[in-house]
Structure 1
Amino acid sequence: MDGHKAAKRRKLTDKSLLNVILQNPDFAEDSQMYQSLLEMERKLDWTITRKRMEIQDTLSRNPATTRTLRIFVSHTVSGQSWQAGTEGDNLTNPETGESIPAWQVRIEGRLLELPQRGKDKGPQRKFSTFIKRMMVEFDRDTNVYPENNIVEWPRATGHHNPPLDGFTIRRTGDVPTNIRVVMYLDHYPEQYRLSPDLSSVLGIREESHLGAVQALWSYIKIQGLQDKADRRLVRSDEKLRVIFGAETIPFQKLPEYVKRHLAPPEPILLHYSFDPSIPLPEPERPTAWDVELKMEDAALKSRMGVMLHANKETSATLAKMDEEIALLAQSLHNSHLKRTFLQSFANDPAKFIQTWLESQSRDLESVLGAGASEGLTLRQEELRRSEFFRLPWVEEAVAVQEGLRLASKGMQ
């Protein structure tokens, strides 16, 4: 803030210096380098301001990036017949569930690190924060296993539903089972599935609302479909006529027409099969799937935020230099005023003194309230009295006038 104030003071001083330069060709020739520096500084300030505004605009939109989410699905078993040798000959206890054949499925995931960035800074997000809704369906005989074969997890906020690293589902049984996982990812910005008509024009299947509008506008510009007479209208070609249903549409209604061709995105489908009656390999390796996830680019946002806030030491140095430039510029301006004052006196001392006395007289009249109204009558009345010329200021004025006369005589 102090640097900004110093720069503002310097700018005001620069205006006065430019006036000095324009009024004095000799001085302007000597200060050509200073003028070049001022011009360079203006261009640099404009560039920095423009870049800052671009970064601030980008930060307000929350920059997005595409990351890879690796999803793991694995299972474990208990109480199976092939485990009897390790668990002993314990009898089945239906009340406690001990030694009853059972299995459990584990679904978890994590973001893969970017090669050029390395490990993400800060705590990693929980797996459940990447999911909007998930359903797990078990394909098995409902007559034998009548228990719930569909598990649904809708994400909700609150302490009763904290973020999770993964999901574990346990069921009883010892027969081969097929599992289907239906997962709706939480993209940022929110993604939509484009209609076949719009997808064929833009060449993309899923995109955000803003991204689809920008892609359509790029297509319009490339094809030259903006009306040449009225730039607010967009003309339809053979492909857009199917989407718009009209020959021309207003430009501002593009988001509305695009929204009509957006639908919820298709979920991620994962298929997993296992046979609890077969011993697990050692060590067990979970099955993995890689899916793309649109999310906020926190790293880029933090780096751009740092660019907006300059280093404290650099800001202090710039503020000090601005202060020194402002002082030097003011000193130069004062020197120019003195030079102009003495040059005018040297060129025509009599005229200079007369002009100066008239100026002082006007200032005195302003102080005393004299003028074109009643003050003028009062002023003229005072001048007719001899006591007026015996006031203390008269001796000071005479001394100044005498000093100027002697100075003028010496210069001649």
Structure 2
Amino acid sequence: MDHKAAKRRKLTDKSLPNVILQNPDFAEDSQMYQSLLEMERKLDWTITRKRMEIQDTLSRNPSTTRTLRIFVSHTVSGQSWQAGTESDNLTHSETGENIPAWQLKIEGRLLELPQRGKDKGPPRKFSTFIKRMMVEFDRDTNVYPENNIVEWPRATGHHNPPLDGFTVRRTGDVPTHIRIVMYLDHYPEQYRLNPDLSSVLGIKEESLLGVVQALWNYIKIQGLQDKADRRLVRSDERLRAIFGVETIPFQKLPEYVKRLLSPPDPILLHYSFDPSLPVVEPERPTAWDVEIKMEDAALKNRMGVMLHTNKETSVALAKMDEEIALLAQSLHNSHLKRTFLQSFADDPAKFIQTWLESQSRDLESVLGAGASEGLTLRQEELRRSEFFRLPWVEEAVSVQEGLRLASKGM
């Protein structure tokens, strides 16, 4: 039972004794109350179970597949077609002015989901989606012997902050072909499956958990779980050729799967340009769309809201708790009235005698020095009291006699 349900139960228990257990007759006449209690138990159990499921999902961080759009473009400077007069064509090696050069830009961003609209919060930097990247320049090594490979390994720390993009500047005026090798940072981490296992499961790249789940589905469909010992998996012809064993303990499935996993293939991008050719119009960046698995922050936030109620919900629940406590107190008072009247109906004479004795004790407590002294002083007075000569006494005696005769007749 969750906190709110426990609090509600505590409030009602303070006002309402367990009349159901103490009074079987009352319980038989209170089927609606019992139904409400049963409904409350089911509701509390369902809420608790759903909360546990959400907490388990949050502990594993839900993931989703998004589209990352990568842009590659270039700009040039100091090229012959950009020069003006002959004086402007003079190059200055010390300052780098008028030396033919070009700049390569690699940028990227996530595409918005149509059904969600814009993501809440600041967008992630492009560099946070990349584990490692290499940029290779296909140029004549005799003319440009150095700096033809640029590598960027991601590292944490203030010296390597997140970036919106990368810019590489090189000198030259010859056609250049560029090859970009990019290793994406998936969440959860992705692996490439062994070709034989991939053909069995029908997947090429997946997380470790996804591969184990797919393998378990294959085992259930093929009926490979041992009938006597459910902890063992019997290999069929295809699994035997892959794992090389006849039986696999269920708890060792991840260990066997890991042996057949390898890092995923990188993203390869090819880009070519000729800086010596004049550009009539600004060229648009070349774009590629790639899929990347990442944490589903929106789903995580929605599930977190379900676990933490807001102020309005808390106020509404507190108001319901108070109403339940008042109704429980009203039910308790009604039960006391019913018990009072039922005891009078069962034996009016005994009821009156008990009631009078109770009133007498209360009166002695108020007027007398003690119970025994008060009774001694007023015993004769009580016996001769005009109270017992009132008309209702004869009516009560008649009712009692009628009930007695009716019970004998039955």
TM-score, scaled relative to structure 1: 0.80
Conserved 8 A contact 1:192-1:264: yes
What secondary structure sits across from 1:39 in the alignment?
helix
- Higher mean alpha-carbon deviation, 356-365 vs 52-61, is at 356-365
1:374 & 1:193 partners in 2: Cα distance? 98
Conserved 8 A contact 1:6-1:319: no
Shift of 1:53: 1.5
Conserved 8 A contact 1:346-1:408: no
Shift of 1:313: 1.7
Relative to 1, partners in 2 of residues 1:407 and 1:129: Cα closer, same or farther, differing over 3 Å?
Answer: farther
Relative to 1, partners in 2 of residues 1:115 and 1:349: Cα closer, same or farther, differing over 3 Å?
Answer: same
Conserved 8 A contact 1:6-1:322: no
- Higher mean alpha-carbon deviation, 112-121 vs 276-285, is at 276-285
Q: Deviations over 1:325-368 (max 9, x none)?
A: 12332443355356546755775699999999999999999999
What value does the CA root-mean-square deviation take over the aligned residues?
7.6
2:362 & 2:230 partners in 1: Cα distance? 61
Q: Deviations over 1:54-108 (max 9, x none)?
A: 1111111110000010111111111111111389734111111111111111111
Shift of 1:8: 3.7
Q: Deviations over 1:244-284 (max 9, x none)?
A: 21111110000100111111111111111111111124121
Relative to 1, partners in 2 of residues 1:261 and 1:373: Cα closer, same or farther, differing over 3 Å?
Answer: farther
Shift of 1:312: 1.8
Number of paired residues? 410
2:281 & 2:209 partners in 1: Cα distance? 49
Relative to 1, partners in 2 of residues 1:393 and 1:5: Cα closer, same or farther, differing over 3 Å?
Answer: farther
- Higher mean alpha-carbon deviation, 137-146 vs 303-312, is at 303-312
Shift of 1:160: 0.7
Conserved 8 A contact 2:349-2:400: no
Relative to 1, partners in 2 of residues 1:378 and 1:264: Cα closer, same or farther, differing over 3 Å?
Answer: farther
Shift of 1:198: 1.2
1:351 & 1:231 partners in 2: Cα distance? 70
Conserved 8 A contact 1:7-1:319: no
- Higher mean alpha-carbon deviation, 333-342 vs 320-329, is at 333-342
Q: Deviations over 1:285-337 (max 9, x none)?
A: 11111111000011111111112222322221222222221233244335535
Conserved 8 A contact 2:67-2:111: yes
What secondary structure sits across from 1:291 in the alignment?
strand
- Higher mean alpha-carbon deviation, 19-28 vs 218-227, is at 19-28
Q: What pairs with 1:2-401 in structure 2 (closer than 5 Å)?
A: 4=3, 7-8=6-7, 10=9, 13=12, 20-21=19-20, 24=23, 27-28=26-27, 30-85=29-84, 89-333=88-332, 335-337=334-336, 339-340=338-339, 343=342, 347=346
Relative to 1, partners in 2 of residues 1:331 and 1:282: Cα closer, same or farther, differing over 3 Å?
Answer: same
Conserved 8 A contact 2:20-2:27: yes
What secondary structure sits across from 2:320 in the alignment?
helix
Relative to 1, partners in 2 of residues 1:67 and 1:389: Cα closer, same or farther, differing over 3 Å?
Answer: same
What secondary structure sits across from 1:374 in the alignment?
helix
> Matched residues, percent identical?
92
2:43 & 2:354 partners in 1: Cα distance? 45
- Higher mean alpha-carbon deviation, 351-360 vs 93-102, is at 351-360
Relative to 1, partners in 2 of residues 1:255 and 1:385: Cα closer, same or farther, differing over 3 Å?
Answer: farther
Conserved 8 A contact 2:226-2:232: yes
Relative to 1, partners in 2 of residues 1:368 and 1:158: Cα closer, same or farther, differing over 3 Å?
Answer: farther
Shift of 1:38: 2.4
Shift of 1:30: 4.9
1:382 & 1:277 partners in 2: Cα distance? 131
Shift of 1:183: 0.5
Shift of 1:197: 1.6
Relative to 1, partners in 2 of residues 1:400 and 1:27: Cα closer, same or farther, differing over 3 Å?
Answer: closer
TM-score, scaled relative to structure 2: 0.80
What secondary structure sits across from 1:86 in the alignment?
coil
1:375 & 1:383 partners in 2: Cα distance? 11
Shift of 1:371: 25
1:195 & 1:87 partners in 2: Cα distance? 63
Ranges in structure 1 where 5+ consecutive residues have no aligned partner? none
